[in-house]
Amino acid sequence: MACAVVMSAVMLVANSGIALANGPGYGPVIPAPDPVPGGYYCIVTSRTVVPAGTVIGPLRLDKLGFRLRVRRGTFPAPVQITITEPYARTGACQGGSAIGDAGFRGYRAVGGVGILVQRGGVAYPGTFARRLRLRLTSPAITRSSHLAVWNGNRFVEAPRFVVRDRRIWVGVHVSSDYAVLTRTRQLRRLDASQTMRQAPTAAVEAASPDLIAAIFRMPAGLAPPGAQ
């Protein structure tokens, strides 16, 4: 299903923070308040998945790379899988302040993703026959990062997730809202290092023509390389 079509027909699930994708066979539902910090109402994509399985992604969320593998035999009949991200129920789908530390002191949300599986217009009943393989990537993911999942009342640590090489892997057995959390002090260091890498470029751009001429040993008054 094309993302634009899905966006025009979004309804909200009662007692869930994930947006529902409307379509053939999907009935209207009752709008509900935001029980999950961040809302997870921003639809990234929605796909019909058959029993043969598929791979959704790689996709680019606000601050995370995303890939979801659905293995053969996971579902006995076609289902609709909708991928969402935080944060606002209205407005831009970016930022992390709505999630904050998700209840993990000393941490801050890097980003989040919601996975909603439907069959016949309603949430998929029970657990999946095989776990979906979710991979999230970001330069802000470190060895001490956490993956939190909403349990209906609060964010808790997701079971059996693996962190390695700026990536997080986890098996998904039910529709879920996830948040990637990294230590606040490490995010500050990352922000500082990015600022330092950008500083030399900014300094050269702000330099006078005479200074640029001296750096590149060109006669003053000539246009710098690439300016013509």
Q: What is the pLDDT of residues 103-151, one digit of tens each?
A: 999 999 988 999 999 999 899 999 999 999 999 999 999 998 999 999 9
Measure the CA–CA gap between 161 and 167, rounded to whole angstroms: 10
Q: What is the pTM of this model?
A: 0.71
Phi and psi (nearest 5°) for 187? -65, -35
At the topology level of CATH, where does 3-183 sit?
Chondroitinase Ac; Chain A, domain 3 (2.60.220)
**Edge-first strand listing for the sheet containing 167-172:** 54-60, 65-70, 132-137, 167-172, 162-164
What proportion of the chain, given as a percentage, has pLDDT over 90? 47
CB-CB contact of 20 with 11 (8 Å): yes
Measure the CA–CA gap between 84 and 221, rounded to whole angstroms: 54
pLDDT at residue 225 is higher than 50: no
Run of H or E including 3? helix 3-7
For the chain, what are the domain ranges?
3-183
| Amino acid at position 54, single letter | T
Q: What is the pLDDT of residues 74-96, one digit of tens each?
A: 999 999 999 998 876 666 776 55
Query: Is 163 in a helix, a strand, or coil?
Result: strand
The confidence score (pLDDT) of residue 96 equals 59
Question: Is the N-terminal amide bond of 87 cis, ω within 30° of 0?
Answer: yes
> What does DSSP assign to residue 210?
H
